[in-house]
């Protein structure tokens, strides 16, 4: 019967399933092909609305397709016949095909792309999507509100191109009655559909997602807000679909670094998900992970840990411990714990994540390499240098296996491995890592990239530590050249490099060049960081060293005093840098024969250094040696000998027997023994000092050797006189 036919058509139109996540368009419904004896115009309209864009694109009529998709009435027709959600999806699928055809036309595939080479696909797509929003929120909204009364009446009374002349009066009557019945049923379905399914809200959600994917975030935020409004009004505020839109809005705000707005969206989504889905659900865990990320980015690390920990518990309960989602949450939790300085907790998280990823993905997977790299950083922070080296080496092997020897990721791991090896004084290994990292970065990035400058700087620091000052200077000059080009001449990193260059010049005895570098560095740091910054104190301390080496003791004291003021204020009394400056102030007091002030400085430096570094550290030995000098000047010879012996033990332990500092302590001990009249002991110490000076590479014309030889002669003469 006619009524049955209309019922079948309505059922096919209303409830036919439509694939949501496939790129290919849905199959045609059976009723679209049937040779319907009744009302062919209605069938034709349905088919045209569904298939016309595809038919236009097949022969390459791309511009006509773009015009058709941008036509509001065409999309409105689709919405009325298919429903808002299905129509939106079909329209966006046609739009994706249009973009593909335009892209192929631009690449020269004229037979496929057609006449679309002059179109701006992104601009056309954005315009179409905005028009779709207008239709859904204005034109279609009015039709839904009015029940489509006028629109349905107009459609029924349309011209059938002469077909009506062959239809009997009885058929016309049946036709009119059936159309009225279908019109009423359509009206009820549309209104009911909006209240129950929230088609318009879902359609707007899909459009917003597409706009966000295209980078049109302002438009996407606006459309998501409209979607949320429709969903709340038709589905209710506590519907899971509302939570889905809130989640997407949060993601979009997160991409835009609008962390407050993102967090508000996630919190609202979480409240709905917990009420509707329960506390143990994958969507709840997903939202908690998103909130943890926000808290981490905004520095609320306690809340980040709380969110990640709750998400982790849910994921473990749902999926077990050996799940990639669990591993990702552990990885995120490890990042936050590392930032908080909880390195042991961070290492535990990374180790658990590593076990899962290695089991599921294999040893050479990129995610395994990422976790190994993070584990290496944390272990280095913990002082577990062997563990850090092991993690970096495993990460390096995985990266090379997947990416080859010359990939930038390989260079990054080599750079970090060089840092660890430098920290444990394996300088040759550190240099090899930095040089290989530099080679790759020069190959991949060119000689003017900031990463090249970074590796050059670190390589220069290791050369400096190795006393290879010429190569160190070469590296620092390269760093300075690249940094100035990338950052300008007044950047903080320029000041850092100038400070390093000043130290190299100082070691090479080029004191004027050193002072020029330090002065320029000081000017930049004061301008960028203020007068009381610790980096300013560092340069002032270094300038004090240069003034001291130049014999300008008053200027040296000025530099040290200002550095001490800043460091003491910022770091307190018990800090290694405070002790270093105080020690050097003592040395200046010593040179000025201000022995009492010198001893006060040395005693405090000794206390802090012994506490922080241990009794056998090289710097503790330096301070003990200086205390011996003060006691010698005060003619407190027994106390001077005691301090020299302590200094000698530390220096031989840390530096070996053939070091110039060992020679200096032996030389000064010999002076004390000679002043005590203990000439035999003094002669032994002078001879040992002479031998050590020579073994360090000093020639006989060096002042230290000349002085030692003169004292040996004098002491020998005293011994001979006693005989």
Q: State how far Cα 623 lies from the chain centre.
A: 42
> Integer distance in angstroms from the first to the last C-alpha of the chain?
144
Closest CA to 651 of 625, 628, 671, 673: 625
Closest CA to 496 of 466, 520, 471, 462: 520
**Cα(346)–Cα(375) distance, rounded to whole angstroms?**
8
- Tokens of residue 341, six digits: 């300085």
What are the C-alpha distances in Å from 437 to residues 380, 444, 720? Answer: 19, 11, 64
- Tokens of residue 35, six digits: 């040779």
Digit-coded pLDDT (tens) for 605-657: 999 999 999 999 999 999 999 999 999 999 999 999 999 999 999 999 999 99
Digit-coded pLDDT (tens) for 311-370: 999 999 999 999 999 999 999 999 999 999 999 999 999 999 999 999 999 999 999 999
Burial (Cβ within 10 Å: 0-12, 13-18, ≥19) of residue 163: exposed
For 507-673, CATH gives 1.25.40.10
Inter-residue long-range contacts of 517-526, CB under 8 Å, 24+ positions, other chains counted: 518/542, 518/543, 518/546, 519/543, 520/495, 521/495, 521/496, 522/495, 524/490, 524/491, 524/492, 524/494, 524/495, 524/498, 525/492, 525/495
Note whether 672 and 641 are within 8 A (CB). Answer: yes
Note whether 453 and 479 are within 8 A (CB). Answer: yes
- What pLDDT does 291 receive? 95
Among all chains, which residue has been given the structure tokens 């444990």?
424
**Cα(498)–Cα(518) distance, rounded to whole angstroms?**
7
Which residues of the chain, if any, have pLDDT below 70? 1-42, 109-116, 143-197, 723
**Cα(286)–Cα(308) distance, rounded to whole angstroms?**
10
What are the C-alpha distances in Å from 342 to residues 331, 333, 334, 349, 381? Answer: 14, 11, 9, 11, 10
Which SS3 state, helix, strand or coil, does residue 228 take?
helix
**Cα(424)–Cα(694) distance, rounded to whole angstroms?**
29
- What pLDDT does 50 receive? 86
Closest CA to 649 of 679, 617, 681: 617
Q: At what angle do helices 301-319 and 282-297 cross, to 10 degrees?
A: 160
Angle, CA of 378, 379 and 380, to the nearest 5°: 90
Note whether 595 and 635 are within 8 A (CB). Answer: no
Digit-coded pLDDT (tens) for 489-525: 999 999 999 999 999 999 999 999 999 999 999 999 9
What are the C-alpha distances in Å from 243 to residues 231, 278, 469, 572? Answer: 10, 13, 62, 51
Helices and strands (H, E) in the chain, number of each type: 35, 0
DSSP 164: G
pTM value > 0.75: no
Characterise 510 by phi-psi region: left (phi > 0), alpha (psi -120 to 50), beta (else). beta
Q: For residue 258, report the phi and psi dihedrals to the nearest 5 degrees.
A: -95, 75
Burial (Cβ within 10 Å: 0-12, 13-18, ≥19) of residue 404: exposed
Closest CA to 134 of 15, 47, 222, 57: 222
Q: For residue 119, report the phi and psi dihedrals to the nearest 5 degrees.
A: -80, 145
Closest CA to 410 of 429, 379, 436: 436
Note whether 263 and 293 are within 8 A (CB). Answer: no
- Tokens of residue 254, six digits: 């997160």
Digit-coded pLDDT (tens) for 169-227: 443 443 444 444 434 433 433 433 444 567 889 999 999 999 998 899 999 999 999 99
**Cα(476)–Cα(462) distance, rounded to whole angstroms?**
11
- Tokens of residue 194, six digits: 């909006």
Indicate the domain borders of the chain.
Answer: 1-159+168-216, 507-673, 674-723
Closest CA to 245 of 226, 218, 217, 263: 226
Closest CA to 69 of 115, 118, 132: 132
DSSP of 499-566? HHHHHHHHHTT-HHHHHHHHHHHHHHHHHHH-TT-HHHHHHHHHHHHHHHHTT-HHHHHHHHHHHHHH
Burial (Cβ within 10 Å: 0-12, 13-18, ≥19) of residue 118: exposed
- CB hemisphere CA count around 650 (13 angstroms): 22
**Cα(409)–Cα(403) distance, rounded to whole angstroms?**
8
- What pLDDT does 197 receive? 67
**Cα(60)–Cα(48) distance, rounded to whole angstroms?**
18
- Tokens of residue 239, six digits: 């519907």
Note whether 424 and 385 are within 8 A (CB). Answer: yes
**Cα(148)–Cα(156) distance, rounded to whole angstroms?**
12
Closest CA to 408 of 362, 363, 368, 454: 454
Kind plus residue range of the DSSP H or E element containing 406:
none
Closest CA to 271 of 287, 259, 282, 256: 287
């Amino acid at each position: 019967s006619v009524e049955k036919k209309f019922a079948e058509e309505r059922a096919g139109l209303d409830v036919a399933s439509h694939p949501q996540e496939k790129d290919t368009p849905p199959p045609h419904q059976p009723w679209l092909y049937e040779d319907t004896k009744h009302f062919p115009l209605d069938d034709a309209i349905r088919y045209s609305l569904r298939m016309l864009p595809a038919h236009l694109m097949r022969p390459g009529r791309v511009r006509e397709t773009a015009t058709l998709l941008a036509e509001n009435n065409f999309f409105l027709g689709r919405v009325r016949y298919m429903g808002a959600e299905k129509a939106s999806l079909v329209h966006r699928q046609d739009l994706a095909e249009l973009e593909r055809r335009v892209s192929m036309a631009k690449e020269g595939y004229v037979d496929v792309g057609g006449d679309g080479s002059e179109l701006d696909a992104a601009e056309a797509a954005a315009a179409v999507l905005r028009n779709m929003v207008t239709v859904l929120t204005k034109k279609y909204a009015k039709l839904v509100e009015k029940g489509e009364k006028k629109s349905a009446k107009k459609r029924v009374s349309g011209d059938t191109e002469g077909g009506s002349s062959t239809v009997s009066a009885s058929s016309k009557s049946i036709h009119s009655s059936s159309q009225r019945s279908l019109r009423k049923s359509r009206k009820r379905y549309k209104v009911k559909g909006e209240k129950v399914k929230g088609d318009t809200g879902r359609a707007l959600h899909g459009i917003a997602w597409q706009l966000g994917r295209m980078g049109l975030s302002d438009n996407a935020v606006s459309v998501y807000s409209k979607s949320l409004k429709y969903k709340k009004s038709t589905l209710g505020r506590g519907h899971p679909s509302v939570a889905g839109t809130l989640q997407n809005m949060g993601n979009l705000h997160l991409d835009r670094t609008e962390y407050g707005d993102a967090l508000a969206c996630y919190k609202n989504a979480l409240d709905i998900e917990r009420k509707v889905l329960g506390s143990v659900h994958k969507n709840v865990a997903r939202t908690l992970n998103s909130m943890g990320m926000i808290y981490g980015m905004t520095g609320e690390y306690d809340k980040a840990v709380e969110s990640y920990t709750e998400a982790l518990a849910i994921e473990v309960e749902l999926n077990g411990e050996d799940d990639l989602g669990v591993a990702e949450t552990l990885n995120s939790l490890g990042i936050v714990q590392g930032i908080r300085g909880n390195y042991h907790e961070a290492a535990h998280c990374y180790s658990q994540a590593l076990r899962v990823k290695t089991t599921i993905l294999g040893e050479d997977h990129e995610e395994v390499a990422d976790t190994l790299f993070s584990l290496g950083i944390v272990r280095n922070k913990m002082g577990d240098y062997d563990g850090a080296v092991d993690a970096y080496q495993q990460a390096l092997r995985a990266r090379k296996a997947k990416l080859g020897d010359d990939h930038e990721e390989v260079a990054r791991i080599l750079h970090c491995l060089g840092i660890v090896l430098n920290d444990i004084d394996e300088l040759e290994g550190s240099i090899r890592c930095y040089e290989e990292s530099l080679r790759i970065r020069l190959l991949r990035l060119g000689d003017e990239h900031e990463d090249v400058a970074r590796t050059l700087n670190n390589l220069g620091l290791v050369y400096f530590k190795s006393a290879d000052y010429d190569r160190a200077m070469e590296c620092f000059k390269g760093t300075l050249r690249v940094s100035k080009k990338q950052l300008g001449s007044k950047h903080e990193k320029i000041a850092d490099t100038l400070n390093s260059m000043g130290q190299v010049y100082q070691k090479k005895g080029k004191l004027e060049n050193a002072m020029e570098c330090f002065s320029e560095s000081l000017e930049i740091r004061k301008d960028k960081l203020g007068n009381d910054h610790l980096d300013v104190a560092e340069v002032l301390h270094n300038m004090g060293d240069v003034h001291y080496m130049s014999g300008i003791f008053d200027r040296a004291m000025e530099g040290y005093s200002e550095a001490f003021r800043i460091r003491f204020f910022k770091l307190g009394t018990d800090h290694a840098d405070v002790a270093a400056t105080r020690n050097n102030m003592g040395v200046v007091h010593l040179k000025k024969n201000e022995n009492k002030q010198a001893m006060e400085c040395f005693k405090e430096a000794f206390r802090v250094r012994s506490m922080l570094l241990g009794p056998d550290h090289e710097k503790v030995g330096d301070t003990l040696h200086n205390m011996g000098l003060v006691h010698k000047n005060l003619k407190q010879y027994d106390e001077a000998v005691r301090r020299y012996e302590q200094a000698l033990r530390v220096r031989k332990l840390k530096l070996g027997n053939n070091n110039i500092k060992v020679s200096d302590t032996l030389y000064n001990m010999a002076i004390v023994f000679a002043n005590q009249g203990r000439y035999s002991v003094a002669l032994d110490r002078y001879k040992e000092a002479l031998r050590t000076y020579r073994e360090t590479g000093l020639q006989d014309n060096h002042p230290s050797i000349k002085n030692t030889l003169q004292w040996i002669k004098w002491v020998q003469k005293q011994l001979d006189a006693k005989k």
